[in-house]
Amino acid sequence: MSSAASLQALIQDSALDATLRAIATKVSAGERVSFDEGVYLYEHGELAYLGILANFIREKKHGDHTYFNRNFHIEPTNLCVYDCKFCSYSRMLKEREEGWEMSVDAMMETLKKYDDEPVTEVHITGGVVPKQNLDFYAEFFRRAKAHRPDLHIKALTPVEYYYIFKKAKLSHYDGMKFLKEAGLDSMPGGGAEIFHPEIREKIAHDKCNAEQWLDIHRQAHSLGMRSNATMLYGHIEAYWHRIDHMERLRQLQDETGGFQAFIPLKFRNQHNQMEHVREVSVIEDLRNYAVARIYLDNFEHIKAYWAMISRETAQLALNFGVDDIDGTLDDTTKIYSMAGAEEQTPAMSTRELASLIKQVNRKPIERDTLYNVVTDYSTYVFEEEAKPQYYKLPVIN
Ligand code: V47
Ligand code: SF4
């Protein structure tokens, strides 16, 4: 049964709660779900119901296409002046001897290691330290572009930019413009966490707040740059905090259209100051992807970060609204491996990732940062490729 037929069957199911049927009818008509309806979905939408709605939207937007890109990461430092309670990465407080701060030369050395690799993007993010200031990054961006002009530089988040621009006494707009001229192409989605101050003050009290985070993305978009947005979920927040978070993003996206992907990040509880907080279940992960797909009607892509949720959950997520899997990771960020994500095999090859997608009957498409198709792997047959094992969601009625 097609995803549209599954949705129609749901709408006609008289045993289903009237509000959930009304929301399903809205989704079928391409109408926007309200704040209260978003909260209702989290509170009352069962996994199979949410999956049908999210999969309908996913297939309407992208069919079976499932995107990934070939990138590598550079982490300029693992020290940080901030004190986020969920952070397993910063070595500022303990284990300072394990801390590093790269020079521009060292970052160039890392970049050059990928000279003969068919990567299209470098993703740069880490902690915040005084030495890595505006001039430091401008110099690196200039040198990186001069060395490899085709490589897309996706770098830093408003957490770093807010700190750097404040020190340089520049407005958000002027700072972004300066760095764009130096070679910056786009921004990853980190640092968003949960925007609502009730939660943000408890888990990330001293870094940029919601308005500052959103304004830096606004200025980047006004300069023609694209960016992503994340949400760190599954800790001390309530469902309505998640909807509040997505509502702020949806409003900014209405204004600028500059966001490409939304990336829910599952809170992992190892080696940080929130070890006492239990992690949520895989079912909750899938429900969360689905609600994000339903709520963020103006976001083209919902991305799953496989290193954080396991390959199997990433495969399942492709039926719950996700159309993008990050990435072919040569060098999985230590932020995750330290927090309890996949530690055994943190890297996947293009072939493995494409097979993983094909195994669940989706079409692997290698993309560049701006979602231009690089290679369509759906017709490639890799040696010893596993046969599809999972099938699309059955209709529940
Ligand atoms: O902002 C930190 C998260 C983010 C933990 O834009 C944690 O393409 C879970 O934003 N448990 C940084 N998450 C990573 C990030 C990202 C990742 C992949 C792709 C893109 C993109 C962006 O990592 C931080 C924070 O929310 N994080 N600690 C933890 N214990
Ligand atoms: Fe610093 Fe980022 Fe860790 Fe917060 S999450 S302490 S800003 S590295």
Q: Each residue's pLDDT tens digit in the chain (397 positions)?
A: 899 999 999 999 999 999 999 999 999 999 999 999 999 999 999 999 999 999 999 999 999 999 999 998 999 999 999 999 999 877 665 666 778 999 999 999 999 999 998 899 999 999 999 999 999 999 999 999 999 999 999 999 999 999 999 999 999 999 999 999 999 999 999 999 999 999 999 999 999 999 999 999 999 999 999 999 999 999 999 999 999 999 999 999 999 999 999 999 999 999 899 999 999 999 999 999 999 999 999 999 999 998 888 889 999 999 999 999 985 555 334 444 445 555 444 577 888 889 999 999 999 999 999 999 999 998 877 655 555 554 445 444 3
Neighbours of 36 (CB within 10 A): 11
Ligand nearest to the CA of 121: 1
| Burial (CB count <10 Å: 0-12, 13-18, 19+), residue 149 | exposed
The DSSP bridge partners found for residue 187 are 227
DSSP string, 114-144: TTTS---EEEE-----TTS-HHHHHHHHHHH
Task: Classify 65-376 by CATH class.
Answer: alpha beta
With a 6 Å cutoff on the Cβ, whether 326 touches ligand 1 is: yes
**Quick one: DSSP state of residue 302?**
E
Cα–Cα distances in angstroms (integers) from residue 309 to residues 196, 224, 250, 314, 333, in the given order: 24, 32, 25, 7, 14
Q: Which H/E stretch holds residue 235?
A: none
Per residue in 268-293, pLDDT tens? 999 899 999 999 999 999 999 999 99
Q: In what order do the strands lie in the sheet with 186-187?
A: 328-329, 70-74, 121-124, 152-155, 186-187, 226-233, 259-266, 301-305, 324-326, 65-68, 363-367, 373-376
Apex CA 249: angle with CA 337 and CA 313, to 5°? 35
The number of helices, as runs of H, and strands, as runs of E, in the chain is 16, 12
H or E stretch at 86: none
Atom of ligand 2 nearest to the CA of 207: 7
The verdict on the CB of residue 127 being under 6 Å from ligand 2 is yes
> Do residues 153 and 122 touch, judged by C-beta distance below 8 A?
yes
Domain locations in the chain as residue ranges: 3-62, 65-376
Ligand 1 lined by 272 (C-beta under 6 Å): yes
Give the Å distance between the CA of 313 and the centre of ligand 2. Answer: 26
**How close is the Cα of 23 to the center of ligand 1, in Å?**
31
pTM (predicted TM-score)? 0.93
For residues 299 and 248, the answer to whether their CB atoms sit within 8 Å is no
| Ligand 1, pocket-test mutation among 335, 370, 371, most atoms within 8 A of CB | 335
Q: Using the atom order of ligand 2, give the atom closest to the CA of residue 204.
A: 4
The verdict on the CB of residue 357 being under 6 Å from ligand 1 is no
Helix 210-222 × helix 172-182 angle, to 10°: 50
Give CA–CA dist 57/96, Å, rounded: 47
Instruction: Please check whether residue 58 is in contact with residue 293, taking contact to mean a CB–CB distance below 8 angstroms.
Output: yes
Question: How far apart, in Å, do the first and last CA atoms of the chain sit?
Answer: 13
Residue nearest to atom 5 of ligand 2 (CA): 87
Altogether, the residues listed in the chain come to a count of 397
Residue 173 DSSP SS3: helix
Can you give the pLDDT at residue 168?
Answer: 98
353 lines ligand 1 (CB under 6 A): no
* ∠ CA 68-71-76, rounded to 5°: 140
Instruction: Please report the pLDDT score of residue 390 as a whole number.
Output: 47
Closest to 87 in 3D by CA, of 229, 187, 259, 206: 206
- The pLDDT value recorded for residue 383 is 59
Distance (Å, rounded) from C-alpha 169 to C-alpha 172?
A: 10
Counting ligand 1 atoms within 8 A of each CB, the residue from 230, 324, 329 with the most, and so the one to mutate, is 230
Strand 226-233 to 259-266 pairing: parallel
- Sorted by sequence, the CB contacts under 8 Å of residue 263 that are 6+ apart come out as 189, 228, 229, 230, 231, 302, 303, 304, 305, 326
HSE-CB at 342 with a 13 A cutoff on CA atoms is 19
Is residue 339 lining ligand 1, measured as CB closer than 6 Å?
yes
Q: Are 394 and 7 in contact (CB under 8 A)?
A: no
Q: CA-based Rg of the chain, rounded to a whole angstrom?
A: 21
With beta carbons less than 8 A apart as the criterion, state whether 235 and 308 touch: no
Query: Among all ligands shown, which has an atom nearest to the Cα of 85?
Result: 2
